[in-house]
Structure 1
Amino acid sequence: MAFTVETESRLTTVDVTDRIAAAVPEDLESGTCTAFVEHTTAGLVVQENEPRLRGDLESFLRDLVPDEGHAHDQLDRNADSHLRAALVGPDVTIPVADGELALGTWQSALLVECDGPRTRTVSVTTVGD
């Protein structure tokens, strides 16, 4: 199963928890669910979906990786996006228990857009115990 996400700015986060949860088959009682973003300039992370923390995450990535001055910029001026996405990683794996994502109280799955605005594809696979 796959879904798309429309992003609105260059560096942003989008809560995709409900869309990942919707991909869990009704007959899967326990197992794992893996979501994978099919792009090299976006990533996925499990984190708290709180606006200030999401802003902090964006600021952290912006501060950690400068916007310019990278060799790849000679090609298409988005090396910073690739480097930020490499830090985040392209996937998350979440346990499934009692037919639902077994996330902690404050945990959500966030898509981290590093080169938007764009349309991103996230594929979801599940495996039963």
Structure 2
Amino acid sequence: MRTTIIRTEHVAVSYDTVNGWTVLEVDGEVDVRTHCGIREAVIALLSEGHRHFVLDLCFVPFIDSMCLGAVVAITKRIREHEGSLRIACSSARMIKVFELGGLGKAYEFYNSPQEATYQAPPLDGLAHWPGPHD
């Protein structure tokens, strides 16, 4: 069952749990107005015991450098809780932003949340982040 965490005129954030993953679906632009709310949503979910996340950016038409900074901050928090993070996004343009920001090899990208949650979370989580995954 999908639960809405944030709903503003600029962005909506909801989550669902699938195969041990907390799928955080972001719908809207992730920029200077919205990135803090997304980070706070992850922190709240971590405090509730969620550890393994899929950040679903499939409905995000635009990200800026603030989004990249928020993703790194989120990753650090998840790592502190020995969790995992995967990014669902089928947009080559979006992945290019991560690459230009020097983060292309630091994350696992999947075409959809279904693909990202197909296998249960790994035991080692983000232990080797920010290096590439083998």
Query: What TM-score, normalized by structure 2, do the two folds share?
Result: 0.30
Bigger Rg, which one: 1
Query: What TM-score, normalized by structure 1, do the two folds share?
Result: 0.31
Larger proportion of helix = 2
